[in-house]
C-alpha cells in the first residue's frame, strides 16, 4: 500500500473529509441568505506609455447592495475572491467583518489570509485568521469555517455583554459606597488587613474559640467597609492582643 493509499484509507483522513463536507454544507446553507453586499466590476482603460502598451485594468469591488462603490470598499483583482468576500459578509452579522490580507514581510506565512473580526462591546473579542494555504484551494471550506466561527461567537455575545455591563454597574456601586464610607470614616481597611481578619475568623470557626473585646463583622463585605483604625482594633481583639 502506498502512502497516498494509506492516507485515504485512514480514520484521520476520513474525519478530515467529513469535517470538510460539513463545513461546505454549512457554507452553502448559510451564505447568500441576506444580500447586503454585492460585487461590482470596474474597468479602466490605461493608455500606452513609454514602457507599456494600452491595456484594460479590471477590478472587483465589494460594496453594499444598491449603493455606489466607495473609496474604502474592499477591492480585489480576482472575481473569485471578491465573490467569496461578499458571500461571507452576507452570512455573518453586521457587526462582524471579513477581509483578505497579504502576509507581512516578517511573517512565516507564504500566502494570503482571511481575517475575521467582531466589532462590539463583547468582552471576549472575535479575532480569527484563516490561512488559504491550509485549505488546499478549497475556499468554500474556508468560508464555511469563517461563517461558523462568527455565528457561534455572535450567539453568545449578547449574554456576555449583559454580564459585563452588570459587573460594571456593581463595580461603580461598590466604588461609590467606598467613597461614601471614606468620607464618613477616613481611610478604609487595607487589602492586607481584610485578608488577615478573614483568616483569623476562619481559624476561630474551626477552633470554636470566641471572646475578644471587639465584636465586628464576620463577612468579607462587612470587613471591607471598616475603617483602617477599626480593622486594627478588630485584629488586636481577634489575636488577644489586649
pLDDT at 215: 81
Please write the tens of the pLDDT for every residue from 158-205. Answer: 999 999 999 999 999 999 999 999 999 999 999 999 999 999 999 988
pLDDT at 49: 87
Please write the tens of the pLDDT for every residue from 3-44. Answer: 344 444 555 445 444 544 544 454 444 444 568 999 999 998
pLDDT at 103: 78
For the chain, the straight-line distance linking the first and the last C-alpha, in angstroms and rounded, comes to 87
The x, y and z cell numbers of residue 83, run together, are 465573490
Rounded-to-integer distance, Cα 128 and Cα 118, Å: 9
pLDDT at 24: 45
pLDDT at 231: 95
Who's near 32: CB < 8 A, 6+ residues apart?
A: 87, 90, 91
Q: Are 60 and 39 in contact (CB under 8 A)?
A: yes
Regarding pTM above 0.75, the answer is: no
Who's near 16: CB < 8 A, 6+ residues apart?
A: none
Task: Please state the rounded mean pLDDT for residues 110-131.
Answer: 93
174 compared with 215, residue with greater pLDDT: 174
Please write the tens of the pLDDT for every residue from 42-100. Answer: 998 988 888 888 889 899 999 999 889 999 999 999 999 999 999 999 999 999 999 99
Amino acid at each position: 500500500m502506498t502512502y497516498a493509499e494509506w492516507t485515504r484509507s485512514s480514520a484521520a483522513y476520513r474525519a478530515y473529509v467529513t469535517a470538510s463536507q460539513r463545513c461546505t454544507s454549512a457554507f452553502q446553507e448559510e451564505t447568500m441568505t441576506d444580500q447586503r453586499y454585492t460585487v461590482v466590476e470596474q474597468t479602466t482603460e490605461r493608455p500606452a506609455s513609454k514602457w507599456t502598451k494600452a491595456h484594460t485594468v479590471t477590478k472587483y469591488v465589494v460594496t453594499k447592495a444598491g449603493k455606489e462603490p466607495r473609496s474604502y470598499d474592499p477591492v480585489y483583482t480576482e472575481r473569485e475572491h471578491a465573490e467569496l468576500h461578499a458571500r461571507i459578509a452576507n452570512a455573518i452579522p453586521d457587526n462582524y467583518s471579513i477581509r483578505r490580507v497579504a502576509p507581512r514581510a516578517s511573517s512565516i506565512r507564504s500566502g494570503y489570509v482571511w481575517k475575521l473580526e467582531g466589532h462590539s462591546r463583547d468582552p471576549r473579542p472575535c479575532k480569527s485568521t484563516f490561512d488559504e494555504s491550509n485549505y488546499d484551494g478549497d475556499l468554500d471550506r474556508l468560508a464555511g469555517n469563517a461563517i461558523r466561527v462568527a455565528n457561534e461567537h455572535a450567539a453568545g455575545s449578547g449574554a456576555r455583554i449583559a454580564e459585563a455591563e452588570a459587573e460594571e454597574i456593581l463595580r461603580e456601586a461598590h466604588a461609590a459606597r467606598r467613597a461614601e464610607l471614606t468620607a464618613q470614616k477616613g481611610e478604609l481597611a487595607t487589602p492586607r488587613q481584610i485578608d488577615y481578619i478573614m483568616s483569623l475568623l476562619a481559624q476561630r470557626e474551626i477552633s470554636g474559640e470566641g471572646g475578644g473585646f471587639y465584636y465586628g463583622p464576620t463577612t468579607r463585605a462587612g470587613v471591607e467597609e471598616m475603617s483602617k483604625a477599626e480593622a486594627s482594633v478588630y485584629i488586636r481583639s481577634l489575636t488577644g492582643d489586649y
